[in-house]
Chains A and B, each alone.
Chain A
Amino acid sequence: MKYTEEHEWLRADGDVYVVGITEHATTQLGDLVFVELPDVGASVSKDDEIVVIESVKAASDIMAPVDGEITEVNTDLADDPSLANSDPLGKGWFFKIKPSDTSQLDGLMDEAAYNALIG
Chain B
Amino acid sequence: MSDLRQTPLHALHLSMGAKMVPFAGYDMPVQYGLGVMKEHLHTRAKAGLFDVSHMGQVIVLGNTFAAAARGLEGLIPVDILGLGLNRQRYGFFTNDAGGIDDDLMLANRGDHVFVVVNAACKTADIARMKAALEPAVTVTEITDRALLALQGPASEQVLATLDARAAHMAFMDVATLSLNGVEAWVSRSGYTGEDGYEISVPADAAEALARTLLDHPDVEAIGLGARDSLRLEAGLCLYGHDIDTTTSPVEAGLTWAIQKTRRGGGDRSGGFPGSAKILHQIENGASRKRVGLLPEGRAPMRDSVPLFDAEDSADPIGTITSGGFGPTVGGPVAMGYVATQHATAGTTLYGELRGKRLPLTVTKLPFTPANFKR
Chain A residues packing against B (C-beta within 8 Å) = 30-31, 33-34, 36, 52, 54-57, 59, 78
Contact = CB atoms under 8 A, between A and B. Distances in A.
A36 B327 CA distance: 19
B298 A56 contact: no
Interface residues of B, number: 19
Contacts of B300: 33-34, 54, 59
15 contacts: A30-B35, A30-B36, A31-B35, A31-B36, A33-B37, A34-B300, A34-B332, A36-B299, A52-B299, A54-B299, A54-B300, A54-B325, A56-B40, A56-B324, A57-B30
B325 A56 contact: yes
Interface of B: 30-31, 35-38, 40, 225, 228-229, 298-300, 302, 324-325, 327, 332, 354
Interface of B is mostly: mixed
A59 B229 CA distance: 15
B299 A56 contact: no
A94 B229 CA distance: 26
Given A54-B300, A59-B300, A33 B225 contact: no
Nearest to A31: B37
Nearest to A52: B354
A84 to B, nearest CB: 13
Given A31-B36, A33-B332, A57-B225, 13 more contacts: A30-B31, A30-B35, A30-B37, A31-B35, A31-B37, A34-B298, A34-B325, A52-B354, A54-B325, A56-B37, A56-B229, A57-B36, A57-B228
B279 to A, nearest CB: 39
A61 B30 CA distance: 21
B121 to A, nearest CB: 22
Nearest to A36: B299
A34 B309 CA distance: 25
Nearest to A82: B37
A68 to B, nearest CB: 22
Contacts of B35: 30-31
When A and B form their complex, which 3 residue pairs have the shortest distance between CB atoms, in order from nearest?
A33-B325, A31-B37, A56-B36
Given A30-B36, A31-B35, A31-B37, A56 B354 contact: no
A86 B302 CA distance: 25
Nearest to B299: A34
Contacts of B325: 33-34, 54, 56
Contacts of B38: 31
Contacts of A31: 35-38
Contacts of A55: 36
Contacts of B31: 30
A56 B329 CA distance: 13
A31 B325 CA distance: 10
A30 B30 CA distance: 11
A55 B354 CA distance: 17
A57 B225 CA distance: 7
Contact of A57 (B298, B324, B332, B354): B324
B283 to A, nearest CB: 40
Contacts of B228: 57
Contacts of B302: 59
Nearest to B295: A34
B202 to A, nearest CB: 32
A82 to B, nearest CB: 8
A35 to B, nearest CB: 9
